[in-house]
Homo-oligomer: A and B are copies of this chain.
């Protein structure tokens, strides 16, 4: 079997193709290179300047077309906005070998699973949807770091048709990057991420938009401090990527936003009534939960 030659037990990948070697894809490339887990890395993308940079930084060995990547790679990683997945898979399909493994790093999973099954048909058995919980407001290959996934969680939401060896290969790929792999269903992933990732981005962006739109925004921004800095950091993220995330995970995000709005209105009502004990109880619960999370998560 070609697969056992190309991808041995320690997950030495002979040829890896990364579609979109920016922060996410470039960091995987950097990590696998540092660990000596890959022989050759092909880079695919639309942005020529970005591909040239990835080449210059040694994240990829050469730039190829989507078709060449599909033909030559043993493992293909899609590290593009989730909205691009369908068109990419359609373009690749005619060229994929029967054992070419594909995975992605997109922020939503139910839509990716659906698209993969619809487009790839029987070859969906080799597609394992994934999502590393790591990132940065910086983008592009210059932001890539070999330690981006060190100690972080990588979620995989395998399809029912995935074989053990395919799942194991993708699991080992993430472990090689230093990540802890969690397996869950795609719907669970999307609900949970709507809460802890998509809603914060929504709120941070809404707030930043509102401040920037105020008539005295210059004065406001002149006195903004470190709390503002931390709270709004995620709002600097790629508008294109986040538009796709919100649209892909619309139902779960809208559900969570309704829950958040109810909490918002309760707290606002307590403030309106100048109800000190209710306000303090609410703030206390939030503060204790946040402190407990900090002590457990290892993220400081």
Contact = CB atoms under 8 A, between A and B. Distances in A.
Interface of A: 133-136, 152-153, 155, 182, 188, 192-193, 195-197, 199-214, 216-217, 219-240, 242-243, 246-247, 250, 253-254, 257, 259-261, 263-264, 267-268, 271-272, 274, 276, 279-280, 282-287, 289-291, 293-294, 296-297, 299-300
Given A242-B283, A283-B239, A284-B239, A203 B231 contact: yes
Contact of A279 (B133, B152, B223, B247): B247
Given A231-B203, A231-B231, A236 B279 contact: no
A192 B216 CA distance: 9
Contact of A196 (B182, B228, B230, B239): B228
15 contacts: A133-B224, A196-B224, A200-B207, A200-B228, A202-B271, A203-B207, A205-B283, A205-B286, A206-B286, A211-B289, A212-B286, A225-B299, A236-B287, A247-B279, A254-B268
A253 B253 CA distance: 26
A230 B227 contact: no
Contact of A228 (B197, B232, B259): B197
B236 A294 contact: yes
Contacts of A300: 229
Nearest to A189: B223
A212 B133 contact: no
Contacts of A293: 221, 224, 232
A250 B268 CA distance: 10
Contacts of A257: 264, 268, 271
- Integer count of this chain's copies in the complex: 2
Given A243-B279, A279-B243, A263 B206 contact: yes
A264 B261 CA distance: 9
Given A188-B219, A208-B286, A231-B233, 12 more contacts: A134-B226, A135-B226, A152-B225, A192-B216, A195-B211, A207-B263, A209-B289, A235-B286, A235-B289, A236-B294, A253-B271, A254-B272
A287 B208 CA distance: 8
A297 B229 contact: yes
Given A212-B286, A220-B192, A297-B221, A280 B243 contact: yes
Given A206-B264, A260-B206, A239 B287 contact: yes
Closest 9 CB pairs of A and B: A212-B289, A239-B283, A205-B286, A133-B225, A208-B286, A200-B231, A239-B284, A236-B290, A196-B224
Given A231-B231, A234-B231, A276 B247 contact: yes
B233 A221 contact: no
Contacts of A136: 226
Contact of A199 (B153, B207, B246, B250): B207
